[in-house]
Structure 1
């Protein structure tokens, strides 16, 4: 899904992801004892997470897949992480692998478009590493993506953080984020892809994250030029008002 492009697959369907995690594709590494991290790793994201999300926060990981992000956060002191994914296959894999990590004992099969099992204001932070991108490639896009974001807003505590890591530039994501029912104070950070960092640093990756001031209408400054055309956009969206009283 690099560059925000969508394939012909329905990335919002459980059947697609069940097959993916059961197959020999990179995303199925968990079946063989490994992991597959989409986009950025925890070490690259750690400075931002540590600055904005206290270790005592209750964290919801949307579309967790078989990423190491939750594991690395738990090892780094985060106390309460809930992993959800639409694929029952990968959730079972996560349960088996992380049964001994108390911070990760809650792994649940769930469609992010309907998270009614959780009550309002249940989480201090919601982390989304590519899930909104997948929803924008689902058969019901953009309606399904809008439903997911409404659920995220409902689940966040007042002043809670929605951390969105996406290929979507502000012109593509800000209109979604600003839908009715969502009220955020948003900052943007931009990171080159790990592949670009390896190339530029001759095999010694040095994660670089740049904060970029958005214009009044939530867009990139007109003179801003991406170092890496495949860069990841990291939106830190802080809940401004409680969605439900």
Structure 2
């Protein structure tokens, strides 16, 4: 049976023992796709792109942002254990915690902290895949919240295992594939399978 990726109980049990895991690709690999787009936004000591990282889990993606000088990063996960892991990873790597961490459901992002926030870039590393396990309605709610929190000219970059992840009716975004990464093969005769990185701009 497939895992209950859409259920908080699954992630609570998983994160009770898991301290580090990267979905689909390493954070370094994902950053190589994201960075050219980040560079189009202002990036100085006083003015850094505002980044919303959805479904941060036990990834070290937030540390990759910080190591490159991006400090205005808000990490969101609906499992408190994941949020605590994120803070710990940052503390160990940098001896302090400067990024933001929020416990929230990406399909119901009506939390007080985000109410007046606008972000230049929203990123997720297979969070769309987990949410999609809950059906099209949950996925559509996530997309609506992402659009609400994007600044003018803001973008959403999403990594997914699916070539049709964003093929849903009335999606409030224009979508393009910006990277297509082959998955490792166990045997030479195995079929070609890819992961897809999407760029979404609000309509």
- Classify the TM-score, shorter chain: 0.7 to 0.9
2:53 to 56, 61, 81: 61
Larger Rg: 1
Distance 1:127 1:70 in 2: 11
Shift of 1:173: 2.1
Distance 2:27 2:107 in 1: 25
Task: Normalising by structure 2, report the TM-score.
Answer: 0.83
1:137 aligns with 2:122: no
Q: C-alpha deviations, 1:107-154, integer Å up to 9, x for none? A: 11110011112236611111011111001112xx12111100111111
1:233 to 162, 185, 196: 196
How many residue pairs end up in the alignment?
190
Structure 2 equivalent of residue 38 of structure 1:
23
Q: Is the 8 A contact 1:53 1:161 kept in 2?
A: no
Q: Is the 8 A contact 1:11 1:134 kept in 2?
A: yes
Aligned CA RMSD, in angstroms, stands at 2.4
Q: Is the 8 A contact 1:66 1:90 kept in 2?
A: yes
Distance 1:70 1:9 in 2: 25
Structure 2 equivalent of residue 109 of structure 1:
103
- Specify every segment of 5 or more residues in structure 1 that has no aligned partner in the other structure, as ranges: 1-6, 201-226, 241-245
Structure 2 equivalent of residue 190 of structure 1:
180
Distance 1:97 1:175 in 2: 35
Distance 1:49 1:154 in 2: 21
Task: Normalising by structure 1, report the TM-score.
Answer: 0.69
1:48 aligns with 2:33: yes
Q: Is the 8 A contact 1:36 1:67 kept in 2?
A: yes
